[in-house]
Structure 1
């Protein structure tokens, strides 16, 4: 039985939850002629995401700006894979990545899932980390902005708190006057999308399509590895 049934409000992460973030990233690598074996693409992507999450904490504290974060996550991951990446090349990859993100499409099941939840009377929203304009461009490209109203889209730079701080989830429930035990969050990364909602008293579903390993003792209410497993029954 899906946790949807006991939730009055369902919120989703954005990146790699509503769409396949690997696709625009891989296109950017190919465009900039980064030499990786096919079998290395997913591990490399995971490593970039790992560094992104680690460096995000420094960014939130103000000791690393966004451009520095984006450069360092790429150069660090490349170093792990035996590739020497210049700052200029890292910037070029990032620029191409942002271009590719303008033409992203959602996982095919997502629009109907969001609409089905709304039709069942659920409050449906987005909680994501990042700059407001940057994240909104993705939501517009995905067509999500035409399904979910702006007042239910929460972006870290806009609210002044970022995941994995559990206060993000407390802020959302207070803002929308929700009951924490009736709130559900769905996301792909353990530290940002599983630990904080549980700490805030929310239910959560781990969309673990990248086959990651749990990092703490926390237990999601459900784990799915395919997007169609999230369809309403």
Structure 2
């Protein structure tokens, strides 16, 4: 289980939703509820398939997720629908979210400087981290693919996180819970560990993260300090 660390790994970069905040189950529930009424009459029995399609795409920026699901299920979403769904999802994930169990203690025990690299908006990231008392752990190093305009799986947000520290990507290690996020970190030249602790299907999620390029997977934040090879504070 232990991940062999090389001496040049000096910084930790975390995805937000599904790693720090247990928000993906909220997003899945809300998106499924909001999108089900758009199913055309010929696909009214496709509720389970819609649920699975959304679950597989969690970690993508919401508009990109909606693009793909809209095409796959012929939902006929318009610009106003996108805006309304984004508003409902963002509000729910900001106001109802809880921290991933054990993440606060795990991060506090790791001496590496820490950043967040997420596809969510800065407003949503800050609101969720503040609600869960995680914001001070990142010392202002919060980066949003949404704000950059090149969300994951593009490498930009992970590259921005490394640049924010003033270090090379190879000096960083990432934790991400989605295929999209793992691919983003790998494209940035950053080693990545996959987290499956709040996944809809942990076994399937783990296999997909490994296939996307994660070096290891884990499902309990109590394992994190061991994985990183760091002594607890």
Say yes or no: TM over 0.5.
Answer: yes
Count of residue pairs the alignment pairs up: 209
| Deviation, structure 1 residue 16 | 1.9
Unmatched segments (≥5 aa) in structure 2? 38-44, 227-233
2:86 equivalent to 1:98: no
CA distance in 2, matches of 1:174, 1:135: 19
- Say whether the 8 Å CA contact 1:17–1:207 is kept in structure 2: yes
- Say whether the 8 Å CA contact 1:13–1:186 is kept in structure 2: yes
CA distance in 2, matches of 1:169, 1:27: 28
SS in 1 for 2:108: helix
| Deviation, structure 1 residue 165 | 2.5
| Partner residue in 2 for 1:115 | 108
CA distance in 2, matches of 1:147, 1:130: 18
| Deviation, structure 1 residue 230 | 3.6
State which drifts further: 84-93 or 157-166: 84-93
| Deviation, structure 1 residue 22 | 3.5
How much is the aligned-residue C-alpha RMSD, in angstroms? 3.7
1:8 to 7, 10, 20: 10
TM-score by length of 2: 0.68
Equivalent positions of 1:194-209 (< 5 A) are: 194-208=182-196, 209=199
SS in 2 for 1:204: strand
- Say whether the 8 Å CA contact 1:74–1:90 is kept in structure 2: no
Unmatched segments (≥5 aa) in structure 1? 57-68
- Say whether the 8 Å CA contact 1:132–1:156 is kept in structure 2: no
State which drifts further: 23-32 or 95-104: 23-32
Check 1:215–1:54 CA distance in 2 against 1; reply closer, same or farther (3 A cut): farther
| Partner residue in 2 for 1:142 | 132
2:65 equivalent to 1:43: no
SS in 2 for 1:162: coil
| Deviation, structure 1 residue 30 | 8.1
| Partner residue in 2 for 1:172 | 161
| Partner residue in 2 for 1:131 | 121
| Partner residue in 2 for 1:25 | 27
TM-score by length of 1: 0.68
SS in 2 for 1:205: strand
- Say whether the 8 Å CA contact 1:164–1:196 is kept in structure 2: yes
Equivalent positions of 1:40-79 (< 5 A) are: 43-47=52-56, 49=58, 52=60, 56=64, 72=67, 75-76=70-71, 79=73
